[in-house]
Amino acid sequence: MPNPKLKKESEQKITELKNKIQELNKENKFFELLIRSLPGLFYLFDSNFNVYRWNKNVETVTGYSTNEIQTKNLLELFEDDDLIKIKTNIEEAFVKGDACIEASLLPKDGIKIPYFWTGASTNIENVSYLIGVGIDISKRIQAEKDLRESENFYRILADRMTEGIVLFHNFRIIFANNSFATMFGYDKPSQLNNKNIMDMIAEEFDLYFREMYEAILCNVCEERFFQARWMNKIGKEIWVEGRTKLINWKGQPTILLTARDITETKLREISMQKETDNLRRENVRLRSSIKDRYRLGEIIGKSEAMQKVYTLILNAAASNANVVIFGESGTGKELVARAVHKMSRRASKSFVPVNSSAIPENLLESEFFGHKKGAFTGANSDKSGYLDLANGGTLFLDEVGDLNPSLQAKLLRALEDGSYSPIGSSIIKESDFRVLSATHKDLIQQVKIGEMREDFFYRIHIIPINLPPLRERKDDIPLLVEHFLKIYSNDKKTNQLSGHVMEVLMQYDFPGNVRELQNIIQRYLAVKSIDFLHIDNPPELTIDNSLNLQDNIDHIEQKMIKEALIKSGGKKSNAAKSLGISRKTLARKIKRFDL
């Protein structure tokens, strides 16, 4: 009889074996499904090029059925050069272990399809096989073809353009068209390949171009306009105008520069400007030769100190350099600035006055450079800044010593090349403006204590004009009094001051300068009395209308000259210095009054 125990163990083993077979069948079905579903073409063949396994795509792409594939030799799917390449690389794969190649597959319909083939050899039960995948690269090849055609088209177009075109990366030229090569004296564009473009730019524009390159590369701006001197092949300077823009060329950030030669136009412009400046300087020279001027523009005064100021104003007007006007409060610094503007070549454009100390610090940048809508809370629309308004004209920075160093740094860039960006915008704008500044502070001391940047100081401090306080030019007081009386008299008849009133005015030091005298005259015409704000016990004055203005002036001048001569012990140079006039002027007045 069979042993029950052995029978039970045998049945158990049979059951386990059946389970393993089922699991293997499941795995086989899974891998079979996986293989048939793989993208691309999956294949397994032996060293005789007989295909053993493939996925569904092989049938779909080749157009052969399952039965037909089984009867096909692999090499029947290729012809001509592709057949040679495939056969060579398969043999190599069997020897080296792997290989890859591009070759076109020949489907049943005869229309070739380019594929990228990869294969790796393996050994199964002592039989060598090659397993691999084919990937359709027809789209990539078409894209490359389109790209080459497009590149050739644009290259031909670029070569036909009259405007110079150049591409450079890290300052090295990677493409130039015929016009650019010709512009700089080269026989063909290839001579410029790998040349450092900075070697072609005049030395004084080197820093300007490097800054422009960095600005574009760092996305500070999308493109920049330039106008600068370049050097051609033989070292001759030419003027070039154009634009630069950042593009992506073959996967690298590259600068596209377009250029045209403007040498003839620029030299003509420079010549005309020199001629204009020469005429202006000649005009200044002739006007400066006129002695004893009583006024210049809205500025009143004939003293020697004011004659020097007038000369400086005329010289400044003939130049385009930046000007700083120094003077105490009330001396008329803005009047000087306006006079410079009105007599300069910018007179037809705007004069934009800015009180630097009156703008809230959080609005300074917006006021100067403008802003885009939505740049910050409350920016409900685009706003032009002072630099926009001053384009072509003059920007007057009153109390420039109160500008904070942070804004000075931002203004410095605009002063250097005229470029700036509104808040909230990446676009670089340009403004051609001249800066006239005014201050009552010692700017050199401001630099020492760190309140003013040294580079900003030297940028604005080209032509200094020092306005004397009224106490140092008292012989101008009668002229100023006459001027203010004419302005503020309501009736047709100009009011006059008595000799006694004029004498008191001449003895007063006017801490508030011309502005204080102006206010005194306004109050006098309103209440018929003189009121000095800066002294506690003003003298009582009576009005004497029996004398005319000139008699009053002569009377006061005689008295002041006599007192000055007595105090100086008869030394005319000391007397003239105390009166704020020249020794020559004093001698003339002594002779006139027979003193």
Q: What is the pLDDT of residue 22?
A: 58
Top mean pLDDT of 12-21, 139-148, 278-287, 435-444 is at 435-444
Least confident of 27-31, 259-263, 298-302, 501-505: 27-31
111-120 pLDDT tens trace? 888 888 887 8
pLDDT above 60: residue 440: yes
Query: What confidence score (pLDDT) does residue 542 get?
Result: 46
- Where is mean pLDDT largest: 169-173, 248-252, 370-374, 564-568? 169-173
Number of H-type helices and E-type strands within the chain: 21, 19
C-alpha–C-alpha distance, residues 480 and 306, integer Å? 13
Confidence check: pLDDT of 352 > 90:
yes
- Comparing 595 with 39, the larger pLDDT belongs to 595
Report the distance separating Cα 455 and Cα 334, nearest Å. Answer: 24
pLDDT band at 467 (very low <50, low <70, confident <90, very high): very high
For residue 59, the model assigns a pLDDT of 79
CATH numbers and ranges of domains, the chain: 25-136 (3.30.450.20), 143-261 (3.30.450.20), 314-466 (3.40.50.300), 470-593 (1.10.8.60)
Listed in sequence order, the residues at least 6 apart from 357 whose beta carbon sits closer than 8 Å to its beta carbon are 398, 399, 402
How far is it between the farthest Cα atoms of the chain? 171
Whether the model clears a pTM of 0.75, i.e. scores above it, the answer is no
pLDDT band at 153 (very low <50, low <70, confident <90, very high): low
* Rounded-to-integer distance, Cα 557 and Cα 507, Å: 11
Question: In angstroms, how far is CA 166 from the centroid of its own chain?
Answer: 22
Provide the pLDDT confidence category of residue 283 given band limits of 50, 70 and 90.
Answer: low
- How far separated are the first and last CA of the chain, in Å rounded? 169
Identity of the highest mean pLDDT range in 40-49, 135-144, 261-270, 275-284:
261-270
- Tens digits of residue pLDDT in 81-90: 888 888 888 8
pLDDT for 62 beyond 50: yes
**Burial label, 156 (beta-carbon count in 10 A; 0-12, 13-18, 19+):** exposed
- pLDDT at residue 470, rounded to an integer: 93
Q: Which residue has the higher pLDDT, 118 or 465?
A: 465
| pLDDT exceeds 90 at position 382 | no
Specify whether the CB–CB gap between 480 and 300 falls below 8 A.
yes
Question: In the chain, pLDDT over 70 holds for what percent of residues?
Answer: 83
Q: Are 398 and 355 in contact (CB under 8 A)?
A: yes
Q: Give the per-residue pLDDT at 19.
A: 58
Contact criterion met (CB below 8 Å) for 424 and 372: yes
Lowest mean pLDDT: which of 118-122, 337-341, 528-532? 528-532
> Which residues are bridge partners to 42 per DSSP?
133
φ/ψ of 333, rounded to 5, equals -65, -40
563 in Cβ contact with 507 (< 8 Å): no
Tokens, residue 116? 């990228």
Distance CA 314, CA 465 (A): 11
Query: Can you give the pLDDT at residue 27?
Result: 53
The percent of residues in the chain predicted with pLDDT above 90, rounded, is 18
Choose between 108 and 151: higher pLDDT.
Answer: 108
Count other C-beta atoms under 10 Å from residue 495's C-beta: 17
Could you tell me where the beta strands, DSSP code E, fall in 106-154?
Answer: 113-124, 127-136
Q: What is the pLDDT of residues 496-510, one digit of tens each?
A: 777 777 878 888 888
What's the rounded Cα separation, in Å, for the pair 342 and 352?
12
pLDDT tens readout for residues 300-324: 998 889 989 998 998 898 888 999 9
